[in-house]
Amino acid sequence: MNMMNQMEGLEASILHTYNRYPVVFERGEGVYLYDSEGKKYLDFAAGIAVNALGYHYPGFDEALKEQIDKLMHISNLYYNEPIIDAGARLIMASQMSKAFFTNSGTEAIEGALKAAKKYAYKRDGHAGHEIVAMNHSFHGRSIGALSVTGNAHYREPFEPLMGGVRFADFNDLESVAAQVNDKTCAIICETVQGEGGIYPATPEFLTGLRRLCDEKDICLILDEIQCGMGRTGHYFAWQAYGVKPDIMTCAKALGNGVPVGAFVLNEKYGAGSLEPGDHGTTYGGNPFVCAAVRKVFDIFNKDLIITHVQELTPYLEKRLDELVEKHDNVAGRRGMGFMQGLVIKNVPVGEISKKALEKGLLVITAGADVLRIVPPLVITKNEIDMAVEILGSCLEA
């Protein structure tokens, strides 16, 4: 079957909620993908910042296969082995206190919001607390996560959403402080805004949020779903700022393609919020996904994946800055580590990503005008050069 027939086949039965790029991928190898007609692509999208180790990283598939042969799923009513290791490694990497594994990013957000609300409920003896979230944020598509997502277009058809959410401007401390009141139980933001257009938090903003939350006993929730797991050259982006959240959310690269997320709490919230009966999930943290999480951490630690990101970031930034210099269509670059955005002007950014695909490079977009570059963390200099060359040719005229 050729790609056109396959695409028609998908659209015949799958709800049309995505305008997909016209390509059917069949397999991956390293940091390359192959479509069903055999064409090869360099992957600088990584399944939206998921495939941190690329495809078939040595040892990863074997660890999954081994677990499949032992035990895929057992209920959270029982203990299992992989979750012990996965939890310990996540706590070690974050230096936080307790983790709860979910099936996705949006569910990690739901859990984080519930934990913040439960803490305030126990403290105050009543419910009715509020949350401050950021304009242009993205936290997911389930109702709770959507309620704190600062994008009117995503929200409006589904209102009324969860009540008690106030929006402030990211990187504007005064704007946040203006939305905080006696009912505020949590402030939630991405450490680096992803979907909104690749905006890293400024150090002043993040330190200011931490101070504000400490003063008023408010839960600081940092969403690390996209920017976490080594992408910025730190396990978690907040580690670059020396600011620690009360709760963080994690997903995407956590399972390197196996669907898993987590919310991770510090000691205060780990001990003082959700209790037996407050929260649960059938699949969350099952042996199969936790075997993936365990192996991801083991590979990161053994093969110094984060050191590699740190070492190559200046080169990636330099090459992208050359594109900014050289092409009138690029207004600037923003980002941290291997989470970079090129601001495109004069042409719709979607045209650039489509052209790149035709030329064998996967890049995605963010916000209205940003070309998002979130490659696997294992790319080499040579692959950066290849990507920059293709991007350069797409940006010409």
Residues that bind ligand PLP (CB under 6 A): 104-106, 138-140, 190, 194-195, 223, 225-226, 251-252
β 361-362/40-43 pair status: parallel
Find the shortest distance in angstroms from Cβ 101 to ligand PLP. Answer: 13
- Give φ, ψ of 375 to 5 degrees: -70, 165
Decide whether 221 or 356 has the Cβ nearer to ligand PLP.
221
Find the shortest distance in angstroms from Cβ 315 to ligand PLP. Answer: 25
Helix (H) or strand (E) holding 325: helix 305-326
Find the shortest distance in angstroms from Cβ 190 to ligand PLP. Answer: 5
Decide whether 234 or 355 has the Cβ nearer to ligand PLP.
234
DSSP state of 201: P
Residue 18's Cβ-count burial label (10 Å; 0-12, 13-18, 19+) is exposed
Find the shortest distance in angstroms from Cβ 222 to ligand PLP. Answer: 10
| 92, 239 Cβ separation under 8 angstroms | no
**315 HSE (CA, 13 A, CB side):** 15
The residue whose Cβ lies closest to ligand PLP is 105
Decide whether 111 or 287 has the Cβ nearer to ligand PLP.
111
Find the shortest distance in angstroms from Cβ 140 to ligand PLP. Answer: 4
Torsion angle (degrees, nearest 10) of CA 61, 66, 70, 75: -30
Decide whether 133 or 291 has the Cβ nearer to ligand PLP.
133
- Residue showing tokens 């009513």: 77
Residue 124 to residue 58: CA distance in whole angstroms: 51
Residue 245 to residue 336: CA distance in whole angstroms: 19
Find the shortest distance in angstroms from Cβ 5 to ligand PLP. Answer: 29
Helix (H) or strand (E) holding 206: helix 203-216
Helix (H) or strand (E) holding 25: strand 25-29
Decide whether 223 or 246 has the Cβ nearer to ligand PLP.
223
Find the shortest distance in angstroms from Cβ 351 to ligand PLP. Answer: 24
DSSP state of 22: S
Decide whether 112 or 357 has the Cβ nearer to ligand PLP.
112
Decide whether 103 or 184 has the Cβ nearer to ligand PLP.
103
